[in-house]
Amino acid sequence: MEDQEIVHLFLQRSQRAIVETKNKYGAYCRVIARNILSNDSDVEECENDTYLAAWDAIPPHLPRKFPVFLGRLTRNIALDKHGYNTAKKRNREFEVMLTELEGCLASPRTVEKEYEAGELANSISQFLYGTEVRARNIFIRRYWYSDSIEDLAMRFNMSSSKVKSILFRTRKKLRAYLDKEGGYL
């Protein structure tokens, strides 16, 4: 079923929208959640919460890119769940990924307003559009989808050390770019 048809089912408030979304994008949502959460039951709960969030959001929102919309919902729900779980246990891979980015980005707590956070996001997007496609894709897969180094190496057919090197150089360039753009550090 095409994405527009699924969105139309949501607009009609048809419960078939959930079934079709799960059939087409369930695995996609689970991968995003699993890369952030370490517990299978949390991943399943996050996936189901994504469908509920989509149900609640459509209407009034009409997503232009349905998979991106679902990915964002899943990621945000998984991050919220991760924050809740952090006091109890840690997902080692996700913690490592966040540590990698610490040197590039200021803590969200130090950003005074949401406006500045939006400006930071725009600057990061502009930076990424100016980078080489492979480096951009590796960076996005690592820091948006939370893919592991090993998964990236397999996906891009290269060694883990090559992936680490590309990520290191991209973070270094991002840091310099953000420093030049507006002193976000």
Query: Mind listing the pLDDT tens digit for each residue in 33-60?
Result: 988 887 889 999 999 999 999 999 998 8
Count the Cβ atoms, other than its own, within 10 Å of residue 170: 21
pTM, rounded to two decimals? 0.62
Question: Any idea which residue has 């130090």 for tokens?
Answer: 110
Residue 107 is classified by DSSP as -
| Nearest CA among 101, 109, 114 for reference residue 178 | 101
Looking at residue 111, its pLDDT comes to 37
Alpha helices, DSSP H, located in 15-91: 16-36, 40-57, 66-86
Lowest mean pLDDT among 48-52, 83-87, 140-144: 83-87
**Burial class for 1, CB neighbours closer than 10 Å (0-12, 13-18, 19+):** middle
Q: pLDDT per residue over 159-183, tens digit each? A: 999 999 999 999 999 988 888 876 5
Domains of the chain: 3-89 (1.10.1740.10), 93-182 (1.10.10.10)
Looking at residue 105, its pLDDT comes to 59
Question: Any idea which residue has 């996050």 for tokens?
Answer: 46
Asked whether the beta carbons of 33 and 49 are under 8 A apart, the reply is no
Looking at residue 17, its pLDDT comes to 94
Q: What does the alpha-carbon distance between residue 47 and residue 51 come to, in Å, rounded to a whole number? A: 7
